[in-house]
């Protein structure tokens, strides 16, 4: 079978970073980000179009200058549990921080979502972008990169160990013999590591897909290494074709070097397609969205996020960009370093940084259905992604993509015409991990 690509839907509610004008769109309910019916409708539209997953990002720190969607939104696992009961095939990927959660709790919550959904759960492991989150959890400071990513790796390993607490045939539940549980098939973890001590076992068995799928989002060296070691999916920023190709090759190389099959890590790039009947109409729609979103004050506030929610309104806008590199050391270091390098190289003022930072980044996926399908095919063939995590301005924009672009991708054999499986692993083409204790006991050929 030819190589196929994957689609996930990333809903923004009333507007994420840079989408300053979205909440004013008359077709978006002002409470969309906290309305479960909004998420259920988005999920059902995605499932109707045979998408692989609904992808929910998250954060746990705000101030009044944060994007509308961040100010007032639902907790991802609670949200996804409700969505699970209104969908049958769609994967449900939730973001949760390894920095501010204990592995036992994560294993239990994602394991529960995996059962509720019949094997469609995914955990997007983040180490948390917002440094201020620490003060919501009793810590003076956000952990540094090395500690954060060390903790992330150990957390994933512990969570996976807990997910294997029960072998698949642990519950004979045989009324005649009076045996509910076979105790030989229940395993404690007894983990002692640098960051965690966890005895286990977890009080939850495995789902039809064995374990939830591990996603990761983070582009630093540490983030890439974490992905190479444990991730089965990645949410990557994308950027230009060259950026995406470099990132894709780098991750696949690191994954192979870590002794894993590079096909078993699916790289999703971010994409915001804008589709209309002709290229010209699509461009007009993209221009209109950009106009709706232009808001200098909101962009100035957003700039602070990578620097620990720093308030840049205190500076002279026309003076050189202030020396604030140290504020990003534990925050969005990778993105902040890029901004600082540009400011230094091009001798930019704060105003110019805001304009440059928020300068319109044209989506590569704008045009008629044919144009967008061609661009997607070209990017896919160029080795830039295994999937796209798509976001649409509103339902009408989603409809143009689903009715115009998806059928063309199907005709070209690039996208499925029916779901391959009922589990997220099955649809992504990922193997079901054999329970580690079963694997130890039974040789491969005899399983």
Ligand X SMILES: Cc1cc2nc3c(=O)[nH]c(=O)nc-3n(C[C@H](O)[C@H](O)[C@H](O)COP(=O)(O)O)c2cc1C
Largest CA distance in the chain: 82
DSSP annotation of 403 reads I
Three-state secondary-structure class, residue 400: helix
Q: How far is the CB of 97 from ligand X (least distance, A)?
A: 6
Stretch that binds ligand X, among 7-15, 173-181, 206-214, 233-241 (CB under 6 A): 233-241
Which residues have C-beta within 8 Å of that of residue 276, sequence separation ≥ 6? 282, 284, 285, 368, 400
Q: Which of residues 57 and 428 has its CB atom nearest to ligand X in the complex?
A: 57
DSSP annotation of 320 reads B
Site for ligand X (CB under 6 A): which residue of 219, 274, 300, 405? 219
Q: Which of residues 120 and 148 has its CB atom nearest to ligand X in the complex?
A: 148
What gap in Å lies between CA 44 and CA 329, rounded to an integer?
40
- Residue 122 engages ligand X in binding (rule: CB under 6 A): no
Count of residues binding ligand X (CB under 6 A)? 22
HEC string for 295-313: CHHHHHHHHHHHHCCCCHH
**Helices 145-163 and 221-230: angle between axes, nearest 10 degrees:** 10
Stretch that binds ligand X, among 28-36, 125-133, 189-197, 423-431 (CB under 6 A): 125-133
Site for ligand X (CB under 6 A): which residue of 28, 45, 57, 366? 57
Site for ligand X (CB under 6 A): which residue of 8, 121, 217, 372? 217
- Residue 266 engages ligand X in binding (rule: CB under 6 A): no
- Residue 129 engages ligand X in binding (rule: CB under 6 A): yes
Q: Which of residues 42 and 207 has its CB atom nearest to ligand X in the complex?
A: 42
Q: How far is the CB of 327 from ligand X (least distance, A)?
A: 14
DSSP annotation of 414 reads S
> In 209-259, which residue ranges form alpha helices assigned H by DSSP?
221-230, 241-257
- Residue 134 engages ligand X in binding (rule: CB under 6 A): no
Here's the x/- map for ligand X, 170-189, by CB under 6 A: it reads as --------------------
- Residue 235 engages ligand X in binding (rule: CB under 6 A): yes
Q: Which of residues 84 and 96 has its CB atom nearest to ligand X in the complex?
A: 96
> In 49-92, which residue ranges form alpha helices assigned H by DSSP?
68-71, 76-84
Signed CA dihedral, 278, 374, 275, 358: sign only: negative
Site for ligand X (CB under 6 A): which residue of 95, 117, 209, 363? 95
Q: How far is the CB of 196 from ligand X (least distance, A)?
A: 19
Site for ligand X (CB under 6 A): which residue of 127, 211, 255, 384? 127
Stretch that binds ligand X, among 168-176, 189-197, 235-243, 280-288 (CB under 6 A): 235-243
Residue 392: both structure tokens together: 């649409």
CB 405 within 8 A of CB 367: no
Q: Which of residues 125 and 366 has its CB atom nearest to ligand X in the complex?
A: 125
Site for ligand X (CB under 6 A): which residue of 59, 255, 272, 427? 59
CB 411 within 8 A of CB 370: no
HEC string for 40-56: HHHHHHHHHCCCCEEEE
Site for ligand X (CB under 6 A): which residue of 11, 150, 218, 273? 218
Here's the x/- map for ligand X, 329-358, by CB under 6 A: it reads as ---xxx------------------------
Here's the x/- map for ligand X, 295-334, by CB under 6 A: it reads as -------------------------------------xxx
Q: Which secondary-structure segment (H or E) carries 333?
A: helix 333-345
Cα separations in angstroms, 387 against 51, 119, 151, 234, 266: 10, 20, 28, 9, 7
Q: How far is the CB of 149 from ligand X (least distance, A)?
A: 8
What gap in Å lies between CA 129 and CA 121, rounded to an integer?
23
Give the distance from CA 165 to its chain's centroid: 26
Strands 233-236 and 266-271: parallel
Q: Which of residues 76 and 210 has its CB atom nearest to ligand X in the complex?
A: 76
Three-state secondary-structure class, residue 134: helix
List the one residue out of 15, 37, 16, 33 whose CA is nearest residue 24: 15
Q: How far is the CB of 68 from ligand X (least distance, A)?
A: 16
CB 199 within 8 A of CB 188: yes
Positions in 387-446 near ligand X (CB under 6 A): none
Q: How far is the CB of 292 from ligand X (least distance, A)?
A: 23
Q: Which of residues 161 and 218 has its CB atom nearest to ligand X in the complex?
A: 218
Q: Which of residues 93 and 409 has its CB atom nearest to ligand X in the complex?
A: 93
Q: How far is the CB of 121 from ligand X (least distance, A)?
A: 16
What gap in Å lies between CA 69 and CA 254, rounded to an integer?
34
- The residue ranges that bind ligand X (CB under 6 A) are 57-59, 95, 97, 126-129, 217-220, 222-223, 235-237, 270, 332-334
């Amino acid at each position: 079978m030819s190589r196929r690509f994957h689609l996930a839907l990333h809903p923004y509610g009333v507007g994420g970073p840079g989408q300053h004008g979205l909440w004013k769109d008359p077709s978006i309910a002002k409470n969309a980000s906290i309305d479960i019916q909004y998420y259920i409708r988005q999920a059902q539209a995605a499932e109707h179009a045979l998408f692989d997953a609904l992808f929910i990002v998250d954060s746990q720190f705000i101030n009044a200058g944060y994007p509308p969607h961040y100010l007032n939104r639902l907790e991802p696992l609670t949200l996804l549990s409700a969505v699970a009961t209104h969908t049958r095939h769609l994967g449900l990927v939730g973001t949760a921080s390894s920095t501010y959660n204990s592995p036992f709790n994560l294993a239990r919550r994602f394991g529960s979502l995996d059962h509720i959904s019949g094997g469609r759960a995914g955990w997007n492991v983040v180490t948390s972008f917002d440094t201020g989150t620490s003060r919501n959890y009793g810590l003076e400071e956000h952990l540094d990169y090395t500690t954060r990513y060390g903790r992330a790796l150990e957390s994933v390993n512990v969570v996976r160990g807990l997910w294997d607490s029960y072998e698949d045939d642990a519950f004979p539940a045989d009324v005649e013999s009076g045996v509910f549980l076979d105790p030989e098939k229940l395993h404690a973890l007894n983990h002692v590591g640098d960051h965690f001590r966890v005895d286990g076992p977890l009080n939850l068995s495995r789902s039809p897909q064995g374990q939830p799928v591990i996603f990761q989002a983070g582009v630093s060296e540490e983030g890439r290494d974490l992905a190479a070691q444990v991730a089965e999916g990645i949410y990557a920023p994308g950027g230009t074709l060259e950026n995406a190709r470099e990132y894709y090759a780098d991750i696949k190389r690191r994954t192979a070097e870590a002794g894993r099959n590079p096909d078993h890590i699916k790289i999703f790039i971010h994409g915001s397609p804008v589709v209309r009947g002709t290229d010209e109409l699509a461009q007009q729609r993209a221009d209109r969205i950009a106009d709706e979103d232009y808001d200098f004050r909101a962009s100035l506030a957003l700039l602070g996020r990578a620097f620990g929610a720093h308030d840049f309104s205190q500076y002279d806008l026309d003076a050189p960009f202030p020396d604030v590199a140290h504020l990003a050391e534990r925050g969005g270091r990778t993105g902040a370093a890029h901004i600082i390098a540009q400011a230094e190289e091009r001798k930019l003022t704060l105003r110019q940084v805001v304009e440059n930072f928020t300068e319109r980044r044209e989506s590569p996926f704008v045009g008629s259905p044919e144009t967008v399908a061609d661009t997607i095919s070209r990017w896919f063939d160029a080795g830039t992604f295994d999937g796209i995590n798509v976001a649409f301005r509103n339902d009408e924009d989603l409809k143009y993509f689903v009715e115009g672009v998806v059928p063309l991708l199907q005709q070209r054999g690039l996208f499925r015409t029916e779901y391959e499986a009922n589990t997220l692993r099955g649809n992504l083409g990922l193997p079901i991990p054999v329970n580690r204790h079963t694997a130890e006991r039974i040789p491969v050929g005899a399983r």
